[in-house]
Structure formats: structure tokens, C-alpha cells
Amino acid sequence: MTADKPLRADAQQKREALLAAAREVFDTGDFFDLRFDDFARLAGVGTGTLYRHFPTREALAEAVYHGEVAALCDRARQLQAALPAAEALATFLRTMVEHIAAHQGLARTLATLWADRSGALAEGSRALEEAVGDLVAAAVQEGTVRDDVDSGAVMVALHGIGAAHDRPGWRAEADDVITLVLDGLRRPQ
């Protein structure tokens, strides 16, 4: 499949069905328990369709990851358009925690698949950092957030939250970390 040529409507539907099936499998944590061909069966498509769109397990995982990143970046833009800047930033950071909680299987699978290919996630990480950077910059311009902390520090906190997802009581602790980050970003009165 080439990135330049748009897919026919039926081919796009089959591709989306494969991605949806893979997302479900990620969320259950069974990604490695299935034969790669099983994704075609779960999506209700033929194996030729699977291999045409995603020639490897890694290609399928990468497509799911990039879809999730795109959805999160879209969410950041929607929040920025609809809410005051500080509220948009806070809502997005809490959305990120919800996303991490809902998709822990995806994070574990990606970490396993790309343990030796850290560059494979770099593009998505840059896109998320840009989205967070836009939210932070808007809040700085609004005057509600300090101007001496950049989006990289916020991303480090988010990465730490994601890395600690196996801790007992993780969700409450993750929410507390977001509160600490937001309190730390708040511009002193």
C-alpha cells in the first residue's frame, strides 16, 4: 500500500476493520497470543487484505499507534478551540491519563515490539509534544501558565505516568501527578 494513493472506500473500510480488531486485541493484552493471520479473521477480511495493508505485525502495531496519536492530537486542537487555554491544557492532560489507563495493553505491546527500535515511536512522540506545546503556549499567552517551563517537562511527566502503569493505585497517583504538574505550571499571582 502506498501512502500517496488514496484507498477506495471498501479498501479503507477493511483497513479500518483491521485497525479496530488490533486495538481490541491490544486492550486485552493478547497481541502475541494470536497468529498474525488471526487479525484478518477478527476483522472479517481475508488474509490477503491483511498482508496488503499491513505486511507485518509491527506494521499493524505502528498503524494503530499512529492512529491513536492522531486522535489525541485532534483532541488537543478541539479543546484548544473550545476552552480557555489553561482549562484546555488541564483537560488534555487528564485525557492523556484516561487514554493511558484505557490502552495499557497497547503501551506494553509497543514496548515489547520496539524495545530495540526506539526511533519507531519518535514521530508520534514529536506530534504529541507539539500538541502539548501548543496548549502550553496558549496558556502562557493567556497569562495563566508560567513562561519558564516548556512542553518537554510536561512530556517527561506524562512518560513517567505511562511507565508506572503497573503500580497498585496507579490511577489515583497518575491523577495526583497531573494535579502537581498543573499546580507547578500555574503562574504565580
Give the pLDDT means over successive 10-residue stretches in the chain (189 positions). 68 91 82 86 93 90 89 96 97 94 77 62 83 96 93 91 88 95 91
Q: Which whole-number Å values give the CA distances from 98 to 53, 117, 135, 187, in the listed order?
A: 29, 26, 18, 26
- Residue 1, pLDDT score: 45
Q: Please report how many Cα atoms fall inside a 13 Å half-sphere around the Cα of residue 108, on the Cβ side.
A: 16
Residues of the chain with CATH 1.10.10: 1-55
- Residue 28, pLDDT score: 77
- Residue 2, pLDDT score: 45
Residues of the chain with CATH 1.10.357.10: 57-185
Top CATH class of 1-55 equals mainly alpha
CATH of domain 57-185: 1.10.357.10
- Residue 113, pLDDT score: 64
Q: What is the pTM of this model?
A: 0.84
C-alpha cell at 5: 494513493
- Residue 123, pLDDT score: 76
C-alpha cell at 133: 506545546
